[in-house]
Amino acid sequence: MPRRLLPIVTGMLLCILSLTAAGAALAVPDEEDVRTAFVFGDFVKYEVTDPQDVERIFTELQEIDDLTAPNEQYAFAAGGVPRGVLFELKDGKTVCYEVWGDNRIQREGSASPAILSGKLGTLRGLIEELSQKYQPDVEPFLLASPGEIPAPGQADGGTLHLYDNPTKSYAPVKGGRLTRLIGALAALDGAGRPAGPDELGAALASPDGMAVYDGEIKLEYEFYEKGILIKTHVNRYNFGQEPFRSDMGIPDRAYVFSGEGYRALRNLLREDMKELPKGDYWLGMMRYYKLRGGAGMPPAFSLHNYLTGYRRESDANEGIIFSDLKALQIEPESYQKITGQVLLSEPELAIEIRFEGGIVYTVSMNQSYLQVHSSDVGYAVRHRFAAGSPGYGRLLEIASEAQRYADVRQNPGT
């Protein structure tokens, strides 16, 4: 069987589908039940094809499993990016073990706590050895293959965005355009030469970048005259503790391309960015699952209708509010950077949005302008609405309906 590299962007997420642990803490499966074995690191996995190497992995896991020392408080060990082992079972399920540093291992998706063991250094060394052995000669360009990028409608309704930093605008790519663009990217897979960022040349304009979202992983592509710089961002959760954001030590990657493939991709990017409706880039970055809310916490949204003076915190209709905010269309060339002014001078509607981690957006608008202020940035972004932009009318209506509902509750006899 030829060596082949398989991306782990989705493979890591599949670990949560593994069987519930029973018996020993790691619940190592029977070797005869495993269809394919992988080792992984830096969020890329490598298929282990030599049966003797697979046997070595099982030997190490079973030896660790016999020396369990459960740790009730799961925490990430030093070392940043996890390394580990992933098994695809013959029944279609997966079993994944993450190794953090030299002393902590956990079976992903199980109810068992992490295991502390002084023997993990041997397993980690074996994983690194096999990663080098099964790494192909050609380094891949894409971390996510076309089949692993979620379809439109998943991941908050948009998984691939083109963006233009000079105008703080973005364009979600869906449907046939998404399929076409992913195909152009896939055609470059393996064709790029790893390079330093200083070899990429001048930054392209409109778009100058692209973001691909896959669950907790965001891939950011910056386009340059001669090639692409790829940045990987990962959100991890500490099992019920306050979530945090971390790039987890994954290095940026730069690739230089020659030939028609990259020129064709550049032409396609320019065409899509020109023809697609554009929105405010900061609103485009929002992810629904990052909204703050839940038991004992204030709602994610506060509405302030300046036409009536009505103001209310509300978690009702939050899905509609979120979708309508992302549907707002702007004129990119109207961009203004506003300092010292959170709200528009004459707003009709303002919406405060609270996110996990403490960031707060203040979005103000009237029939002509949209302004977005983020609490972690020292300025606001202002655009003129595009003609016929959807969303604003219904947002104003939601605020009015919420006010009427509140009035009825306070005065049920009227």
pLDDT, tens digit (0-9, with 9 covering 90-100), for 314-333: 656 778 888 889 889 999 99
Asked if the model's pLDDT at residue 37 lies above 70, the reply is yes
pLDDT, tens digit (0-9, with 9 covering 90-100), for 196-219: 889 999 998 889 999 887 655 677
Task: Output the six-digit token pair for 12.
Answer: 């890591």
Q: Helix or strand or coil: residue 33?
A: helix
pLDDT, tens digit (0-9, with 9 covering 90-100), for 349-374: 999 999 877 889 999 999 999 999 99
The reply to whether 139 falls in a domain is no
Chain-centre distance for alpha carbon 218: 3
Q: Tell whether 110 and 11 lie within a shared domain.
A: yes
pLDDT of residue 43: 54
Q: Tell whether 223 and 111 lie within a shared domain.
A: no
> What's the count of helices (H) and strands (E) in the chain, helices before strands?
8, 24
Q: For 313, what's the count of Cα atoms within 13 Å in the CB-facing half-sphere?
A: 8
Q: Tell whether 110 and 157 lie within a shared domain.
A: no
* More confident of the two residues 75 and 312: 312
The reply to whether 375 falls in a domain is yes
Asked if the model's pLDDT at residue 193 lies above 80, the reply is yes
* More confident of the two residues 394 and 149: 394
The domain boundary, picked from 256, 276, 296, lies at: 276
* More confident of the two residues 247 and 253: 253
* Contact criterion met (CB below 8 Å) for 6 and 47: yes
* More confident of the two residues 43 and 339: 339
pTM as predicted? 0.60
* Contact criterion met (CB below 8 Å) for 39 and 127: yes
Average the pLDDT over 110-137 and give the result. Answer: 74
Q: Tell whether 166 and 81 lie within a shared domain.
A: no
pLDDT of residue 152: 32
Q: Tell whether 294 and 208 lie within a shared domain.
A: no
Question: Average pLDDT over the chain, rounded to whole?
Answer: 75
pLDDT of residue 148: 37
Q: For 10, what's the count of Cα atoms within 13 Å in the CB-facing half-sphere?
A: 11
pLDDT of residue 113: 53
The reply to whether 25 falls in a domain is yes
Asked if the model's pLDDT at residue 66 lies above 60, the reply is yes
pLDDT, tens digit (0-9, with 9 covering 90-100), for 142-172: 433 333 333 333 333 357 889 999 999 999 9
**30-51: burial string, b at 16+ Cβ within 10 Å, e else:** ebeebebbbbbbbbbbbbbeee
**363-388: burial string, b at 16+ Cβ within 10 Å, e else:** bbbbeebbbbbbeeeeebbbbbbbee
Asked if the model's pLDDT at residue 277 lies above 50, the reply is yes
pLDDT of residue 293: 60
Confidence of residue 285 (pLDDT cuts 50, 70, 90): confident
pLDDT of residue 343: 94
The reply to whether 41 falls in a domain is yes
The reply to whether 354 falls in a domain is yes
pLDDT of residue 46: 80
Q: Give CA–CA dist 218/221, Å, rounded.
A: 10
Q: Tell whether 118 and 161 lie within a shared domain.
A: no
Asked if the model's pLDDT at residue 242 lies above 80, the reply is no
Average the pLDDT over 276-302 and give the result. Answer: 80
Q: Tell whether 157 and 268 lie within a shared domain.
A: yes
The domain boundary, picked from 108, 134, 160, lies at: 134
The reply to whether 283 falls in a domain is no
Angle 245-251-257 from CA coordinates, rounded to 5°: 130
Q: Tell whether 190 and 247 lie within a shared domain.
A: yes
Confidence of residue 238 (pLDDT cuts 50, 70, 90): very low
The reply to whether 185 falls in a domain is yes
Q: Tell whether 129 and 9 lie within a shared domain.
A: yes
Q: What is the CATH classification number for the domain harbouring 261?
A: 3.30.1490
pLDDT of residue 296: 61
Q: Helix or strand or coil: residue 278?
A: coil
Confidence of residue 279 (pLDDT cuts 50, 70, 90): very high
The reply to whether 141 falls in a domain is no
Asked if the model's pLDDT at residue 190 lies above 80, the reply is no
Asked if the model's pLDDT at residue 237 lies above 50, the reply is no
Q: Tell whether 125 and 167 lie within a shared domain.
A: no
Q: Tell whether 193 and 217 lie within a shared domain.
A: yes
The domain boundary, picked from 254, 276, 298, lies at: 276
Asked if the model's pLDDT at residue 40 lies above 70, the reply is yes
Domain that holds residue 124: 5-134
* Contact criterion met (CB below 8 Å) for 33 and 89: yes
Instruction: Report the number of distinct structural domains present in the chain.
Output: 3
Q: Tell whether 252 and 157 lie within a shared domain.
A: yes
Confidence of residue 42 (pLDDT cuts 50, 70, 90): low
